[in-house]
A and B are shown apart, each in its own frame.
Chain A
Amino acid sequence: MGPGMSSATSSGEVLSFQDMILALHNYWSAQGCLILQPYDMRMGAGTFHPATTLRALGPEPWNAAFVQPSRRPTDGRYGENPNRLQHYYQYQVILKPSPPDLQELYLKSLEVIGIDPLKHDIRFVEDDWESPTLGAWGLGWEVWCDGMEVTQFTYFQQMGGFDCKPVAGELTYGLERLAMYIQGVDNVYDLAFNGRGVTYGDVFLENEKQMSKWNFEVADTEALFDLFRKAVAECKNCLANDVPIAAYEQAIEASHVFNLLQARGVISVQERASYMGQVRDLARGSCEAYMAKETERWEANFPGWSA
């Protein structure tokens, strides 16, 4: 028992961090998913990626997989906590409509990265997902592997305040956790990144230290407040000019700036709700505008569908 217990793929190798991502890419590509690249903006979770949020709207089929760097400023621990990071990777899969064998597809993806379900205890434990800022909710589970939550598995029911028609299935893998699990490592910074001697710490430890300091201590709060106001204004400008995708980007921006302000501790409990409400309005407004712009085309192409 103890350190050194690791999980190997059927070919007997223990995957490095990057190989695990490649294995997932190959697997989901073979299932017909588009393999997208990360969105080039700071965001709290892969769900914010327009390929999830906006594409969950409307009737068009959509199958995509991508890695999304996720930033949670308040989770920063200056590189001192073996499990918590302010910047980490999520692997997102979105399948619309949700296929009938989504659970089986998911379980096979675990086998591809070396998790043998007869050696480990895989469980689907109730965990309903809700994002008030996105006006979104869904039912599903957190998937446990030997008691550890490795994936959030959700059937989206609403997005941006709209019923999902049809429902999309969303899988969010916590890549670092899974890799730590597969490699039998207790500290995230000890993860083998490439299998040739470079660790996760080599790549990210200094980044975590500096960014934690910036998030908690350095970031100019006046500038952040200003950024927030500007994002709100720009989002409205975009909506007024019928470019909802650009508007949505500003909602992402506002959401992240809000998270930074939270980390700096300059938003009081009372103000918090008001800021969250503003972000929600931006996100919902963007989704509404996106729907409005596409509805006519969707209705024409998908008889029986209506917003």
Chain B
Amino acid sequence: MGSELPGVVGMSDFLLELRCEEIPARMQAGARADLEKLFRAEMSAAGVTLGEVTVWSTPRRLALIARGLPQATEAVSEEEKGPPEGAPDQAIDGFCRKNGVTRDQLELRDVKGRQTWFAVRNIPGRAVKDVLADAIPAIIRAFPWPKSMRWGAASLSTESLRWVRPLSGIVALFDGDVVECEIGGVVSGRKTKGHRFHSNGEIEIAGADDYAQHLRVHHVIVDQSEREDIVRKGAKHVAHEAGLVLVEDEGLVVENAGLTEWPVPLLGRFDEAFLEVPPEVIQLTARTNQKYFICRTHDGKLANAFICTANVVPADGGLAIVDGNRKVLAARLSDARFFWQQDKKVPLEKQAEKLARITFHEKLGTVADKVERVAKLARWLVEEGIVTSCAPAKAGASGEGVQPGSEPLPSQGLTKEELADLAEQAARLCKADLVTEMVGEFPELQGLMGGYYAREEGLPDAVADAIRDHYKPVGQGDEVPTAPVTVAVSLADKLDTLCGFFGIEEKPTGSKDPFALRRACLAISATAVSDDLRFSLRDVINNQPVLSSSTDSFAIFERIYGQGLGDAVDGQSAAGADKVKLQKLADEIIGFIIDRLKVQQREAGVRHDLIDAVFALGGEDDLVRLLARVHALQSFIGTEDGTNLLAGYKRAANILKKEDWQGVEGEIAQTGEEDPLAEVDDPDLKEVVAAKMALRRGKELSYTPEPAEKALIEALDEAEPRAGAAIEAEDFEGAMAALATLRAPIDTFFDEVTVNDEQPEKRSSRLDLLARFRAAVQKVADFSKIEG
């Protein structure tokens, strides 16, 4: 080995181990991926072909084994075409400089009959061992740790090497030979260290093949997946031996494997008396603070057991370790029990009073202010019939109601008034647990603890459930609430947050979304769509207490609008100016929600341009209806009729644009108020438009239409009312079917009829007809937004 001639392809292997002080468990997976990526990039840049690459990590080392490397890279010849013979000296000198050659190294070649200078560089093959010696320091320097540090005497300069923790050793062996390199005072070699306590001194590695085995002898399992397997199976095993069932937790498996080089799962017991604390609290304490697994008994209850993962094979079988861990857990659980007992003494209503001391946002008042607004809004959502006590129409995957302690739909059969009362009550209490001791200690338990405390004081299940679940859904894929009281509170909470922060100009920008408004949007649309809640976003936004000047949150309103309230535009009433501002704000919020909807729906395969096409109609701000229209549109566009109709639409629209033909729509716009844009949604104007259209249509043509022209008129006469009726009935497939009948007539029309006829009357009628066709299609969706 190692004596083969350069260029002779041999199957060599390479071992790299970067040993350092304990790497945070959460960074190890990323580090493995980065190591492989950087290594492959270095090799590829140097022209080294690679076979299989394996990367491993333990808390104290990153390792890479690459196989199938050549002994040397192949010689390559690179040539670059330069200026022609006789070109100015400057040009030729420049070319030489650029290519790193001297003038006498240039070659003249014939290019299409012209003598041209070529720079030819012969790059000899390199010994891969040398390539590696350069690559190792480069990889270490370029390593993208999420956080890195300096250390030791070298850190007298800030230019010293940075690594995740002090780098202490490099093993670099190419076919068993040391690849010599040095970085930051660390010199490569074949010596490494075994387990911190089960191995003494340094151990010598012969090569890639004996590395893992040699470490194993010294109590290091270098392959993380093997350690993960030991933790996974070992935890299950010790639970089983104790007659219990492990609560599986892959995150903990990976974390414990990342904290150990020789994992040994051990089971311990804690005082049964702690089980009075809610199981989630015990699990959270055990998991986040101590990285312990927990177990259940066979009847599904939380058991008074924990499983810790030691990094040693204990001399006493683990007695001391388990006992030490038990004590730590007991100290934490007694804190938790103390909080639980203290908190239960104070009713939530009393706790909620303290919310007046917590600032929600300096411009949006205290949490108590927010709660007040949410309570009003939750009530309104019920009173308006947006949230009802009926089961949602499609309580799909999330509606199976895995909600212990309550009936699946505890509020079914309630009157609207009863439901409104419950929603308001739950909303008033939903943030009260923020001031409890338990949530102070474990912020992750917000909501959940409120639910427990509500049940403890005997509040209705629907209220307790709503308090518990009102933060849901927390992200894409999270369970969407279906219980009406919960839905009302959850929706009200998120709408208030979204509208409030938009109102004070705290919108997300780029990657910054400090108030999680994108998540709030996602939750609003997921809830509306999944629970089939029918409402106009604009109406709901207009009724936000946070944006309303008529309620006692006036102070906030004033802050939102700054001096705007006072200095109304000349000649307009202050209220009018406010209305315009409010509408602009609503537009902004709706636009934001639609943008998020596009992102959310992308996963479901819904085209964003089709959402635009439906949303662009202006009036469509009912998310459920919007999506139904989009779905119908998407299946229609996928058919042959759809594709062709789209083509016909684009052609018609192009002609109208080229001719600058305003048609009926244009005429109407002129007759409107001083600002046509502002009046687009005016229902009064819609009637005027309709009347004008009817008048137009009623006009007899002064010439005999061509058959294709007549056919299109008749098709439109038929399709327009059909599509309109279908849309009215929310039968969007029907509307599409009506549109589909236009496809053949419009195709034939374009084939057989000349729009730009010499006779002005014919031309104008036909342009009107195209405008009518465009308008008919536009009623269903704004086809101009559709791509392709």
Q: Does the CB pair B324–A141 fall under 8 Å? A: no
Does A166 interact with chain B (Cβ within 8 Å)?
Answer: yes
Question: Per-position contact with A for B142-155: 1 when CB-CB < 8 Å, else 0?
Answer: 00000111111111
Interface 9-mer from A33-41, A124-132, A238-246: A124-132
CA A121 to CA B328, docked complex, whole Å: 13
Q: Decide if A100 touches B166 in the complex (CB within 8 Å).
A: yes
For residue A120, CB closer than 8 A to chain B, the reply is yes
Considering the complex, give the chain B residue whose CB is closest to the CB of A169.
Answer: B151
Q: C-beta contact mask, A101-137 vs B, less than 8 Å → 1, else 0?
A: 0010001000000001111111111101000000000
Chain A residues near B602: list those with CB within 8 A: none
Residues facing B in A261-283 (CB within 8 A) are 268-270
A147 proximity list for chain B (CB < 8 A):
290, 292, 308, 324-325, 328-329
Chain B nearest CB from A96 CB (Å) reads 10
Chain B CB within 8 A of A65 CB: no
Least CB distance, A138 to chain B, in whole angstroms:
8
- The residues of B that contact A83 with a CB separation of less than 8 Å are 331
**A98 x B259 contact (CB < 8 A):** no
User: What are the residues of chain B within 8 A of A116 when measuring CB–CB?
Assistant: 315
The listed residue (B154, B158, B196, B316) touching A119 by CB distance below 8 A is B316
- The contact string, 1 if C-beta is below 8 Å from chain A, for chain B 130-167, is 00000000000000000111111111111000001110
Q: How far is the CB of A127 from chain B (nearest CB, A)?
A: 9
Q: How far is the CB of A159 from chain B (nearest CB, A)?
A: 13
The answer to whether A98 and B312 touch (CB under 8 A), given A121-B321, A269-B357, A269-B358, is no
CB closest chain-B residue, reference A99: B152
Asked if A139 is at the interface (CB within 8 A of a chain B CB), the reply is: yes
- A148 in contact with B156 (CB, 8 Å): no
- Evaluate contact between B59 and A1: CB separation under 8 angstroms: no
User: Could you tell me if A1 and B290 are in contact, using CB atoms closer than 8 angstroms?
Assistant: no
Q: Does A19 contact B (CB under 8 A)?
A: no
- A164 — which chain B residues lie within 8 A by C-beta? 150, 155
Cβ contacts under 8 Å, A121 to chain B: 308, 310-312, 314, 321, 324-325
Does residue B109 face the partner (Cβ distance < 8 Å to A)?
A: no
Q: How far is the CA of A141 from the CA of B196 in the complex (A)?
A: 16
Q: Are B315 and A118 in contact (CB under 8 A)?
A: yes
| Inter-subunit contact A155/B166 (CB<8 Å) | yes
Q: A128–B326 Cα gap in the complex (Å)? A: 26
* Interfacial chain A residues near B259, Cβ < 8 Å: 123, 125
Interface residues as binary, B191-227 with A (CB distance below 8 Å gives 1, 0 otherwise): 0000011100000000000000000000000000000
A5 at the interface (CB under 8 A from B): yes
Q: Of B22, B157, B316, B324, which one neighbours A165 at CB under 8 angstroms?
A: B157
Asked whether, in the complex, the Cβ of A186 is within 8 Å of the Cβ of B327, the reply is: yes
The residue in chain A whose Cβ has the minimal distance to the Cβ of B338 is A81
Tell whether, in the assembled complex, residue A305 and residue B319 are in contact, meaning their CB atoms are under 8 Å apart: no
Number of interface residues of B (CB under 8 A): 52
Partner of B151, one of A118, A167, A305: A167
Is A2 on the interface with B (CB-CB < 8 A)?
yes
Which of A5, A169, A270, A304 sits near B323, CB closer than 8 Å? A5
A205 within 8 A of B: no
A226 cross-chain contacts in B, Cβ below 8 A:
none
Q: Does B654 contact A (CB under 8 A)?
A: no
**In the complex, chain A residues whose CB is within 8 Å of the CB of B308:** 121, 147
Q: Could you tell me if A100 and B152 are in contact, using CB atoms closer than 8 angstroms?
A: yes
Cβ B320 vs Cβ A268 within 8 A: no
A157 on the interface (CB 8 Å rule)? yes
Minimum CB–CB distance from B155 to chain A (whole Å) comes to 4
Contact check, A97 vs B153: say whether CB atoms are below 8 A apart.
Answer: yes
Residue in chain A with minimal CB distance to B60 = A124
Instruction: Report the bound CA distance from A157 to B319 in whole Å.
Output: 39
Of listed B155, B164, B308, B321, residue having the most chain A CB within 10 A: B155
Interface hub of A7, A139, A163, A269 (most chain B Cβ within 10 A) = A139
Q: Which residue of B lies closest to A180 (CB)?
A: B327
Q: B197 near A117 (CB under 8 angstroms)?
A: yes
Residue from B157, B166, B327, B362 with most neighbouring chain A CB atoms (10 Å)? B327
In the assembly, what is the distance between CA of A269 and CA of B22, in Å? 37
A181 touches B324 (CB 8 A): yes
Specify which of A99, A270, A305 is in contact with B156 (CB 8 Å cutoff). A305
On whether the beta carbons of A97 and B357 are closer than 8 Å, the reply is no
Structural contact, A148 and B328, CB atoms closer than 8 A: yes
Contact A163:B158 (CB < 8 A) given known A119-B316, A121-B311, A147-B308: yes
Q: Chain B nearest CB: distance from A48 CB in Å? A: 22
Asked if A103 and B21 sit within 8 Å, CB to CB, the answer is: yes
Chain A residues, CB < 8 A from B152: 97-100, 166-167
State whether B150 touches A157 (Cβ < 8 A). yes
Q: Which residues of B contact A169 (CB under 8 A)?
A: 151
**CA gap between A124 and B308 in the complex, in Å:** 15
A145, CB-defined interface residue at 8 Å: yes
Question: When A103-B21, A181-B324 are in contact, do A118 and B147 touch as well, CB less than 8 Å?
Answer: no
A270 to chain B, nearest CB (A): 6
Interface residue? A59 (CB, 8 A): yes
Q: What CA separation (Å) do A155 and B156 show in the bound complex?
A: 14
Chain B contacts of A167 at CB under 8 A?
149-152, 155
Chain B residues lying within 8 Å of A99, measured Cβ to Cβ, are: 152
Chain B nearest Cβ from A303, distance in angstroms? 10
B784 located at the interface, meaning its Cβ lies under 8 Å from any Cβ of chain A in the complex: no
Alpha-carbon distance A83/B334, docked complex (angstroms): 10
Distance of A59 Cα from B160 Cα, bound (Å): 14
Cβ of A296 within 8 Å of any chain B Cβ, yes or no, is no
- Residue on B with the closest CB to A157? B149
Q: How far is the CB of B101 from chain A (nearest CB, A)?
A: 40
Q: Give A268's nearest chain B residue, CB to CB.
A: B357
Shortest C-beta distance, B71 to chain A (Å), equals 35
Closest partner residue, chain B, to A82 (CB atom) = B331
A145: chain B residues within 8 A (beta carbon): 324
Give residues of chain B (3-24) contacting chain A, Cβ–Cβ below 8 Å: 21-22, 24
Minimum CB–CB distance from A106 to chain B (whole Å) comes to 11
CB contact under 8 A between A5 and B158, given known A139-B165, A157-B150: no
Contact B21 A146 (CB under 8 A): no
Closest B residue to A163 by beta carbon equals B158
CA distance A186 to B327 in the complex (A): 8
Q: Report A119 CB to chain B, min CB distance, Å.
A: 5
Flag if A146 contacts B320 (CB, 8 Å): yes
- Given known contacts A97-B153, A165-B156, A304-B156, is B312 in contact with A117 (CB within 8 Å)? yes
Asked if A118 and B149 sit within 8 Å, CB to CB, the answer is no
Interface pair B147/A124, CB less than 8 Å apart: no
Residue on A nearest B154 in the bound complex, by CB = A166
Q: Is the CB of A166 within 8 A of B197?
A: no
B778 at interface, CB cutoff 8 A: no
In the assembled complex, which residues on chain A have CB atoms less than 8 Å from the CB atom of B149?
138-139, 155, 157, 167
Residues in A148-179 with C-beta less than 8 Å from chain B: 148, 155, 157, 163-167, 169
In the complex, are the beta carbons of A148 and B153 less than 8 A apart? no
CB 8 Å contact bits of B347-373 with A (1 = contact, 0 = none)? 000000000011100100000000000
Q: Does B741 contact A (CB under 8 A)?
A: no
B157 → chain A closest CB, angstroms: 7
Query: Nearest A residue to B25 by beta-carbon distance?
Result: A126
Question: Which residues of chain A are near B198, meaning CB under 8 Å?
Answer: 118
Q: Give me the 10 closest cross-chain CB pairs, A-B, nearest first.
A: A146-B324, A126-B24, A124-B22, A147-B325, A166-B155, A121-B310, A167-B155, A139-B149, A147-B328, A117-B197
Q: Identify 22 residue pairs between A and B in the complex whose beta-carbon atoms are under 8 Å apart, listed by A's number.
A: A97-B151, A97-B152, A97-B156, A100-B152, A100-B168, A119-B314, A121-B310, A121-B321, A124-B21, A125-B22, A126-B26, A146-B323, A146-B328, A147-B329, A148-B324, A166-B150, A166-B153, A167-B149, A167-B152, A269-B359, A270-B362, A302-B156
Q: Which residues of B contact A (CB under 8 A)?
A: 21-22, 24-26, 59, 147-158, 164-166, 168, 196-198, 259-260, 290, 292, 308, 310-312, 314-316, 319-329, 331, 357-359, 362
Known contacts A99-B152, A147-B329; 17 additional CB pairs below 8 A are A97-B155, A98-B151, A98-B152, A98-B155, A117-B312, A119-B314, A119-B315, A120-B314, A122-B311, A139-B148, A146-B325, A147-B292, A157-B149, A164-B150, A166-B155, A186-B327, A305-B156
